[in-house]
Structure 1
Amino acid sequence: MKKILSILAISLSALMASSLTAAAPHHNDDRGFDKPRHEQSRKHREYREENSDERFEKRRMREERGVQRLQQLKWQEGYVMPQHYRGNSYKVDSKDSSLPKASRNEQWYKVNNNYILVNTDSNTIIRIAN
């Protein structure tokens, strides 16, 4: 019985060792893995630093255009409320704002100093109050 267990243990350890060597990464391809790691990271960092100001400026301009576009929206009854304004930060409680109580499936929002009553099922504007 001891011989069988020892043979089984040796064969399992040999199997484990062979599977570990087969899973080792190969560093002889053309994708730059043969270069030292510090050289790869330095080049990546330099590329990222060169473009970070340009990317930041593009992102800022895109956000400004989006804000301007959202401020120019014309609020009319029957229109769909933009998703940007459906967040909790725009929600208003009718008790605090002296607004008529919203019925079931309705919610008041405050956007650009306007109070907007929206159907929460279809997100359509029901009423606009100043």
Structure 2
Amino acid sequence: MKKILTALALSFSALIATSMTFADPPHNDRGYQNRGNGNAYGHDKKKFRDFNQDEDMMQEQRREREERGVRRLQQHRWQPGYIMPQHYRGDGYKVAYKDKNLPKPGKNQQWYKINNDYILVDSDSNSILRILGF
């Protein structure tokens, strides 16, 4: 009986050991496999470097797109009746009419300073009502 139990225990441990050698290595959140030959994060150094280069290239493309958009908005010619672009509706562009000697805005109106122009905008419809260039 003792020999049977010993044989079963050995065969079971051998089965577990062989099944572990065929298992896939664990994956991390970036999709790379941890093969133990990389850096402390478990990445293959070449793949980790490629990922950083891809990330840098994506950030550079995003920055260039944003700069093109800002240049396009700076070249924009404002006219009454146009809708104020959402990019300019933030508090950073709002100005106090008293500080700049502007006419008092009506109800639901706000003055904005954009590209050295003062623009009166209807807050409800975001349409441009008046433009003062200085």
TM-score (norm 1): 0.68
Contact 2:121 / 2:130 at 8 angstroms: preserved in 1? yes
Indicate the residue corresponding to 2:61 in structure 1. 58
Say if 2:125 is the partner of 1:122: yes
| Structure 2: gaps spanning 5 or more residues | 1-22
Change beyond 3 A, Cα 1:38–1:99: farther
Match of residue 85, structure 1, among 78, 83, 88: 88
| Structure 1: gaps spanning 5 or more residues | 1-27
User: What are the Cα deviations for residues 36-92 of structure 1, in whole angstroms up to 9, with x where unaligned?
Assistant: 577574246323222133223212211111111111111000000000000000000
Aligned-residue Cα RMSD (Å) equals: 2.6
Change beyond 3 A, Cα 1:55–1:99: same
Give the percent of matched residue pairs that are identical in Structure 1 and Structure 2: 50
Aligned length: 104
Say if 2:98 is the partner of 1:95: yes
Instruction: Give the structure with the higher percent helix.
Output: 1
Answer with 51-60 or 94-103: which moved more: 51-60
Say if 2:98 is the partner of 1:106: no
- Kindly provide the amino acid, as one letter, of the partner of residue 82 in structure 1: P
